[in-house]
Amino acid sequence: MQLLRALGFFHVNMLLFSATLGTGIFVSPKGVLKYSSMNIPVFLSIWVGCGLLSMMNALCLAEIATIYPMSGASYYFLKRTLGSSVAFLSLWIKLFAHFLGISAQCLLVASTLIQCFYSGCPAPELPTKCLAMAILWSFGILAVRGIKTVAWFNTISSLVKLSVLCLISLTGIVLLVNGKKENVSRFENALDAELPNVSQIADAILQVYYSYLGSSFLITIAGEIKRPTETIPKTLICGLSIVTVLYLLTNISYLAVLTSLEIISSDSVGVTWMSRVFPSMQWIISLLISAFLLGTASCGIVSASRLFYSASQEGQFPSIYSMLNDHHSPVVAVIQIIILSSIPLIFSSMIYLVKYVSLGAWCVNLLHMIGLLKLRYQNPDQPRHYKVWLPFIFGSIASSLFLIFAPVIQSPNIEHVYQFMFLICGLLCYWLQAKLNRHDVCFDTITCYCQLLFNVSPSEDQEKLIPSPIPD
């Protein structure tokens, strides 16, 4: 039993689009424009710059996935290079981000759908939460059916997403080409606006980076991609280039229809834009927005389950999480993720903690780059199928340090203390799981019962599945 290498170049591209194109492009423009001091050239430059920065970071991570082409490659890599405690800390940050992100996406889909029945007033909280819970568990059933089923679902979802963004982009281009004064005037005298300070730019980048977080999804599922050493780098360059262009054109379209103040005052810029351009199509708009958001949550569940899978094989999680069902899916890991993601749905105030996701992602990215440099130094002659340009690694380290420490130095506040305490809790959990692992014999009976209940079998050791590198 092992995870199947069933994904070719087309499905991998569709999964990348599905994981990357999500709530960010509808929600983030509000915060980015605010932190850009409503300076439109700076606002658009940050979106393009973050796309290039995301591609640079993703290409650095691609080297990790080509050295260790397995599911949960980043966790496996950190444990081999920086030790078990650092690997567990990265796992702690990522899983926390996944649970909150999945819950937030399901809640947003549910609220968008149910709002159609309550025009003119906010939808009740209880039916919204019930619908979000039903959507979450439906995604769990989909993930249990295996990576092929997930790939076909996300292919349809990606085509819908691309169609929606192309519609928004082309509409904005047509409005600007027609040259109506109200549309073009928003770009006049744009260079006269005041420039944001360093701390504001860092906050704006963190807001935008949330829209590109899905770019690391391919690294997590490297063990299920055909010819990962070739497919992953090509997909990242091709896919992220398309995403960056679409994000730029979409934001230009927002600015062509809405004023800066309207964008800042909107909870969802995409919904406000569609309501303004197509005022009589409320039902179609809600369905399109909901379909746009579905695939991202599905990819989040798959990604989190592969982290459970990898940590289980490395002995930091119970062995039951790495056992596979008939569809070659870690079903127990998926169920655990669905249960943990249901908790923020019940206590919806926890959803607002999702703003820490981007900062946590940059901390993990910094650890990856340090580990990559250490591997280059310790094994300079190690054969590699793919080797990222060294300045990219240093550039990724510099950007990570800037985005982590610039807000702390420029404008320290109580939230930074909470973030530090969150990391301390991760280290305490690592110490606790190390203590429990010494008494794991008592869990054997529970594991056997769970294995029978879920009809799962132990998976093959991932190290045996790593292909031998071809010498340069």
pLDDT (0 to 100) of residue 3: 85
User: What is the share, in percent, of the chain residues with pLDDT greater than 70?
Assistant: 88
pLDDT (0 to 100) of residue 210: 74
**Distance between CA 185 and CA 431 in Å, rounded?**
59
User: What is the chain's mean pLDDT, rounded?
Assistant: 82
The encoded tokens of residue 357 equal 């996701």
pLDDT (0 to 100) of residue 469: 46
Q: pLDDT, tens digit, for every residue of 346-399?
A: 875 544 555 566 677 778 889 999 999 998 888 877 777 788 888 999 999 998
Model confidence band, residue 335 (pLDDT cutoffs 50, 70, 90) = very high
pLDDT (0 to 100) of residue 181: 62
For residues 415 and 329, which has the higher predicted lDDT (pLDDT)?
A: 329
Q: pLDDT, tens digit, for every residue of 154-186?
A: 999 899 889 889 988 998 888 888 766 666 666
Q: pLDDT, tens digit, for every residue of 421-436?
A: 877 887 787 777 666 6
Residue 187, pLDDT > 70, answer no
The CA-atom distances, in angstroms, between 261 and each of 30, 251, 255, 282, 309 are 9, 14, 10, 23, 46
Assigned CATH for 9-465: 1.20.1740.10
**Distance between CA 348 and CA 114 in Å, rounded?**
16
Model confidence band, residue 337 (pLDDT cutoffs 50, 70, 90) = very high
The b-or-e profile of 257-295 (16+ CB within 10 A means b, else e) is bbebeebeebebbbbbbbeebeeeeeeebbebbbbbbbb
Q: In this structure, what DSSP letter does residue 320 have?
A: G
Note the Cα 286 to chain centre separation in Å.
23
Dihedral sign for Cα atoms in the order 472, 219, 393, 372: negative
H helices, E strands: number in the chain: 19, 0
Residue 402, pLDDT > 70, answer yes
Q: In this structure, what DSSP letter does residue 468 have?
A: P
**Distance between CA 472 and CA 213 in Å, rounded?**
32
The CA-atom distances, in angstroms, between 232 and each of 62, 292, 353, 404, 472 are 7, 24, 31, 27, 19
Q: Which residues contact 103 (CB under 8 A, 6 or more apart)?
A: 132, 136, 341, 342, 343, 344, 345, 350, 351
Residue 249, pLDDT > 70, answer yes
The answer to whether residues 290 and 112 touch, using CB atoms and an 8 Å cutoff, is yes
User: What is the share, in percent, of the chain residues with pLDDT greater than 90?
Assistant: 22
Q: Where are the domains of the chain?
A: 9-465
For residues 110 and 285, which has the higher predicted lDDT (pLDDT)?
A: 110
What is the residue type of 53?
A: L
Model confidence band, residue 25 (pLDDT cutoffs 50, 70, 90) = confident
Q: Report, in angstroms and rounded to the nearest whole number, the Rg of the chain calculated over CA atoms.
A: 22
